[in-house]
Structure 1
Amino acid sequence: MSAFLVSTGIVALAEMGDKTQLLALVLAARFRRPWPIVLGIFAATIINHALAGAVGAWVTTQLGPDVLRWVLGLSFIAMAVWMLIPDKLDDEEADSNPRYGVFGTTVVLFFLAEMGDKTQIATVMLAAKYNAYLWVVAGTTLGMMLANAPVVWLGERMTRLVPIKVVHVVSALFFLVLGVLAIWHGVDMG
């Protein structure tokens, strides 16, 4: 259960101010149809994070515990630094043609925007750390939905209420603590 809770919290925090959250805001403003957008975000996240979680689970079978401990620890610390760098939405993502409808456009844009993104990398690392594929994917997906669904419904008002810089610093501290703990105490593989 800790894999689920940690995954949910970390991804929800990491997603604040992320380019996919900005994409959710742009899609909401452009299409003004929240349900297909939220369902598209959910579908894209499930697919993307299921693949990322599978990579993380595979990594645990390929690396010994000592190497895995250092790789995860250093990766979490690198993620902490990355959290302090704000994301910007690419123009091509904002100006997409909705030829596939609101749902289809959201799925495609979110899936592509999430490739190599902080939350996808975090999903890989969390799946490797906890060795609990389903709990991690469920938690990271819930974290994405907790961060993005309110933005679709509440739009820009919500982004003004949340101090993004503070959220990024708190997220960075969480990743830093996880990195130090992974290196110091090792990874619980059981």
Structure 2
Amino acid sequence: PEALELLRTKKKNLRILKVATPPVLDLQVHPIDGGALVQSADKIDAFGDNPENWTLVSGDPADVDTLRDLQFAWRSLRCVKSNAILLAHDNATVGIGMGQVNRVDSCHLAVERANTLADGVERAKGAVAASDAFFPFADGPQILIEAGVSAIVQPGGSIRDEEVFEAARSAGVTMYVTGTRHFFH
């Protein structure tokens, strides 16, 4: 009211209008040539972020330490863009593959980065892996399995899910699906 009175000394016909707060949309809009890409926002603490909501599709249930690493990898993955694969061990990231045109190349890159540190330790062996979107084929998980990954978490949802799950089962690797993806552009 004081500000309005001060402004009225300069101009007589002023009013205060109350406008409703616009709703917060859970959408991200990215301009592209000829239009826009609209996608839902990646939420922190989404349903699929809670391991209690994950579905075990292969192997034995993860022990406490492995489950902690899987959850760490899954939650960290949200900060990595497109076709992301993140390897983690002891609550730390050991390898990331990202920005590739396919998930296979991202798997190779994550394993390579985990295994090429100066000390020569193969950090992919015994690590867990998280994928930001489903594996369309079993070839991606197969790369991780051959590198010695002990457990994998991914959203699921591929028409070839059963083929992917079977690759993990055949290798005795634990695999969970979250039902929520972190793949965004």
Which TM bucket (shorter chain)? under 0.3
Which one has the bigger helix percentage?
Answer: 1
Question: TM-score, normalized by length of structure 1?
Answer: 0.24
Greater RCO between the two (CA within 8 Å, min separation 6)? 1
Which one has the bigger strand percentage?
Answer: 2
